[in-house]
Chains A and B, each alone.
Chain A
Amino acid sequence: MMDRDALTLRNPEQELRQFTGRALTLWVFLALAILLLVLRLFQLQVLEHDRHAARSEKNRIEVQPIAPPRGEIYDRKGRLIAGNLPVFSLMVVKERVDDLEATLALLETLIGLTVEEREAFQGRLVRRRRPLEPVTLRLRLDPEAMARVAVNRHRLPGVEIEAGLLRHYPEGDLLAHAVGSVRRLSEADLQRVDPIAYSATRFIGRLGVEAHYERALHGAVGHERVETDARGRITRTLDRTPPRAGHNLTLHLDRDLQAAAVAALAGRRGAVVALDPRTGGILALASTPSYNPNDFIWGLDAEGYQALQQDRDQPLFNRSVRGQYAPGSTFKPLVALAALTEGVTDWERSLKDPGYYQLPGQSRKYRDWSWTAGNGGGQGVVDLRKAIYRSSNTYFFDLGARLGPEPMASVARAFGLGRDRAVDVFGARSGLVPDGGWKQQAQGQPWYPGDSLNYAIGQGALLVTPLQLATVAATLANRGRPVRPRFLMASDARLPELAPTPLPPLDQFSQADYAGVIDAMEAVVHRGDQRFGENGTAWAYIGQDIPYRMAGKSGTAQVVEIPQGEEYDEDALEERQRKHAWFMAFAPVEAPEIAVAVLVENGGGGSQIAAPVARAVVDAWLLPPDSQVAQVAQQ
């Protein structure tokens, strides 16, 4: 071989020795190197094992909360008024999206996102969230969009389709102010509620029954320990604690009665509250105009919300429990009870009504509603019964002047005014019962005799809500046994609201006086076919064909003060400065089943405007459905 010759100059033995030496040295070196690797693995796998094992578990196991289905709400006849709609929502877990813009662009081509959806999504994205919390991109996916997303799932990491339940109000705006609504859970809500209990919940009761019974309706959150891969996709469920569904509620509300009340209000701004006087159960609670609570769930855009907020008619304002108005003449029956009890008057005492009242030594004339500038007016000889059915201001001015503020404030409070007596009415206002101390404190002025005159006809500082006035009607219907208004009739939960502590009867007023006041209120509706100026104030409007006995009292609350010597001229006044029309009633008188308060804002005369609404509601409750046609014709 040719190499052999070259090698003759070399020393093969020495080269072999040298090579063997080198090989041995390198063998030792690589043994040490492998030992280094072994030591490194020992460090990771034995010394630091616990730390890495924990991180590996944290990697793969995720605890996912499961939202409990919200309790359903039914009306007294078992008709669903708040339920849950199964929906499939498109959710995005931002942390798991590689490129958000690209993902949105792809979704755009797949299911066509709207500008609003994108904006709403971006808005939700910047809000504070729990880490890895899915953000809604589209609340309800139709089957086709679902299929398109599902097929492209591998191209859409971080995009999930989530099956869920969404609150739904099948009656739309009909019961909005009574049942209330849920809204998307906000950051502020999370400060108030247990964030763990609400970890899967996206909506919370914000108004009405939904808000008051939030705890019962919400249920208990469930948990699922799932194994996820690096993409966050669930590979299997390890164990599961199912959520506990929220409790169902059955309310005293009657859907049909509510519809009748809303229909009777006929698009005017106003409120109707109907109670069962025996239980205090709220049979109807309407405030018009109303809004559709479903809009808040499906996502109302900023403009839609602003429009609702800035609407002059204030559809979001619940007049029935948050509207506070002077009760006007509807307060007179209570003043009558106070005056009888204080001995300021009796059923026999009468006075001659010149159409106005003057305090001793004062020239100012406190006018009766029948007063006109040309003809002095006046209602002739008036006793207490007539003062109620004819709603004589003059007679009650006299009572007010002689009673002073304290007995009137006391009877008002006894009937539940000036505070929130309701068991479960969310956001109900207290109204205002003034007295001498209040005036000194609030206005820094002493109580003037003139204040007592206004007080006696339900004007001035006295404020009530329609709910409170319905409670007054119910208490009168019960001859002094007060009730606390409540929505809840039954539930599968043992809720304290089911058995509220009863209130003590108002024994300070005699049964004879209750009977007299009720008799006079009956005359308001039924006393007819008399001489001019002798019929009950509401008879002409509702009393002529009424097939049951109803006791009622109208009220007309001034919105602006009419200067001395001037007439109230409805046509000359702006619509919103006209008087508020009130009517309270209960029926049948002998065994009352329903008590109603009606308010029509800027409606004008109570008997003319509010009384027909009250009758329509009572008709709907007491009469069989087919005989209600007559009442519709009257409207």
Chain B
Amino acid sequence: MSAADFRRTLSRDDGFDRRQRWLRRLHLDLPLLALVLLTAAYGLVVLYSALDRDWLAFQGQLSRLAVAFVVMLIAAQLNLAMLQRWAPVLYGLGMVMLVLVLLVGVQAKGAQRWLGVPGLPRFQPSELMKLAVPLMVASFLADRPLPPTGKTVAWVLALIAAPALLIGLQPDLGTAILVAAAGFAVLLLSGLFWRWVLLAGLLGLAALPGLWMVMRDYQRQRVLTLLDPESDPLGAGWNIIQSKIAIGSGGLFGKGLFEGTQSHLNFLPESHTDFIIAVLAEELGFLGVLGLLTLYFLLLTRGLYIATQGRDTFARLLAGGLTLTFFTYLFVNVAMVSGLLPVVGVPLPLVSYGGTSALTLLAGFGVLMAVATQPKPLAA
């Protein structure tokens, strides 16, 4: 029980205790559930505006979120030990599918990301890897002495690099970054020596020119655009200029819900997907964004807290890794939309329009709840 829960226990009578037991039986973590619901609700309000009050599209997103919540509830019931055993299988399956995507995948918008199985909705294996990679890494590390040895780290890096590269080849830089970040997060939490992290960071910096060489033209353009968006105001710089105008013109209190001129007059591209925080910033202002970031921060805090309370190393690594993945999502997205990072396709978690990413995210929260509710042998 967290300190907050404890205080609540004091202020209320034993009815709370009963509820607590009831929640535990359902494998639900009330603070996490409340925060997720709150964030999703807030996100839906913004999305409704970003969709130009298109009720039909909004309903579609509502039903997708409902499905994702069901998936979260199911994921919360998973047995952690079983999850740890099945992690390599899931990972292997994901790798096979990633290879298949590159060979026989469906193309859209210049990238090959989907697997089309007749009779089933299109499926994006890279999304699965957002969960499978931290699972695999956590499972792998949990079996070994920690902090990890160099050999272990090398293995983990390979486990991370293989799917990240395959996804990068699609090409889908955003997802590749998220998948890699998920793996690294687990590695960091496992107690990886800081000096190695530092060394890797320096090596990474040294490798930047090499990275530049292998980047595709449009990716290079995005980096250049970040450095000087005004150099091509109607072309590559358009997105970032318009999103900065949208955010900046919102001011402290915003232009009012549904009143955003940048978003509703189509100056802001991708306003209901990757750039949705610009809509929030324009219409509800700095305070509106601050509210969302606060919710995110509370979610992250709760996630990390759950991780520290995990019943064993696997549970802790997994929960911590998923939490940090969530952080990577939101940080990359907000930093990109506000012009701190180059444009990569990363949606704003729990807010952006789209079903697949919501599904993965909520499945992740489900796993977090599983960690929160499966008691430590000691605490039981």
Interface residues of A in 21-47 (CB under 8 A from B): 22-23, 26-27, 30-31, 33-34, 36-38, 40-42, 44-46
Interface residues of B in 126-150 (CB under 8 A from A): 142-143, 145-147
- Pick from B189, B250, B331: contact of A37, CB below 8 A: B331
Total inter-chain residue pairs, C-beta < 8 Å: 153
- Pick from A15, A30, A41, A229: contact of B265, CB below 8 A: A229
Interface size band for A: 35 or more
In the assembled complex, 27 residue pairs joining A and B whose CB atoms fall closer than 8 Å, in A order, are: A3-B142, A7-B312, A10-B146, A15-B313, A16-B308, A18-B147, A19-B317, A22-B190, A23-B308, A26-B188, A26-B189, A34-B297, A37-B338, A38-B290, A40-B340, A48-B248, A49-B248, A52-B245, A53-B249, A56-B246, A57-B249, A59-B242, A60-B265, A227-B261, A230-B242, A230-B265, A235-B265
- A residues near B246, Cβ cutoff 8 Å: 52, 56
- The answer to whether A6 has its CB under 8 Å from any CB of chain B is yes
Interface residues of B in 325-368 (CB under 8 A from A): 327, 331, 334-335, 338-340
Mostly, the B contact residues are helix
Give the complex CA separation of A41 and B327 in angstroms. 17
- Pick from A3, A55, A231, A235: contact of B245, CB below 8 A: A55
- The answer to whether B262 has its CB under 8 Å from any CB of chain A is yes
Q: Which of B247, B249, B296, B313 has the most CB of A within 10 A?
A: B249
Q: Which of A12, A23, A55 has the most CB of B within 10 A?
A: A23
Interface residues of A in 443-465 (CB under 8 A from B): none
Instruction: Check if B252 sits within 8 Å of A19, measured CB to CB.
Output: no
Residue of A nearest to B289 (CB): A41
- The answer to whether B301 has its CB under 8 Å from any CB of chain A is yes
Give the complex CA separation of A9 and B338 in angstroms. 49
- The answer to whether B84 has its CB under 8 Å from any CB of chain A is yes
Instruction: Check if B281 sits within 8 Å of A56, measured CB to CB.
Output: no
Instruction: Check if B308 sits within 8 Å of A33, measured CB to CB.
Output: no
Residue of A nearest to B286 (CB): A45
- The answer to whether A629 has its CB under 8 Å from any CB of chain B is no
Instruction: Check if A53 sits within 8 Å of B251, measured CB to CB.
Output: yes
- Pick from B266, B281, B307: contact of A45, CB below 8 A: B281
Instruction: Check if B293 sits within 8 Å of A37, measured CB to CB.
Output: yes
- The answer to whether B30 has its CB under 8 Å from any CB of chain A is no
Q: How far is the CB of A94 from chain B (nearest CB, A)?
A: 13
A residues sitting closer than 8 Å to B (CB atoms) are 1, 3, 6-7, 9-10, 12, 15-16, 18-20, 22-23, 26-27, 30-31, 33-34, 36-38, 40-42, 44-46, 48-49, 51-53, 55-57, 59-60, 227-231, 235
Instruction: Check if A49 sits within 8 Å of B251, measured CB to CB.
Output: yes
Q: How far is the CB of B39 from chain A (nearest CB, A)?
A: 14
- A residues near B262, Cβ cutoff 8 Å: 56, 59-60
Give the complex CA separation of A243 and B286 in angstroms. 42
**B residues contacting the other copy or chain, number (CB 8 A):** 54
| Known contacts A9-B145, A27-B304; A38 and B266 CB within 8 A of each other | no
Give the complex CA separation of A12 and B314 in angstroms. 12
Instruction: Check if B286 sits within 8 Å of A229, measured CB to CB.
Output: no
Instruction: Check if A34 sits within 8 Å of B296, measured CB to CB.
Output: yes
- A residues near B143, Cβ cutoff 8 Å: 3, 6
Q: Which of A15, A22, A38 has the most CB of B within 10 A?
A: A22
- Pick from A1, A19, A42: contact of B316, CB below 8 A: A19
Give the complex CA separation of A3 and B140 in angstroms. 12
- The answer to whether B24 has its CB under 8 Å from any CB of chain A is no
- B residues near A44, Cβ cutoff 8 Å: 244, 247-248, 281, 338-339
Q: How far is the CB of B34 from chain A (nearest CB, A)?
A: 20
Give the complex CA separation of A228 and B247 in angstroms. 19
| Known contacts A10-B145, A230-B265; A23 and B245 CB within 8 A of each other | no
Interface residues of B in 277-299 (CB under 8 A from A): 281, 285-286, 289-290, 293, 296-297
The 3 closest A-B pairs by CB, nearest first: A52-B248, A56-B249, A229-B265
If A56-B248, A59-B245 are given as contacts, then 7 extra A-B residue pairs at C-beta distance below 8 Å, sorted by A number, are A3-B142, A30-B300, A44-B281, A45-B247, A51-B248, A59-B242, A59-B261
Residue of A nearest to B265 (CB): A229
Instruction: Check if A40 sits within 8 Å of B249, measured CB to CB.
Output: no
| Known contacts A18-B146, A19-B308, A60-B265; A37 and B335 CB within 8 A of each other | yes
Instruction: Check if A52 sits within 8 Å of B147, measured CB to CB.
Output: no
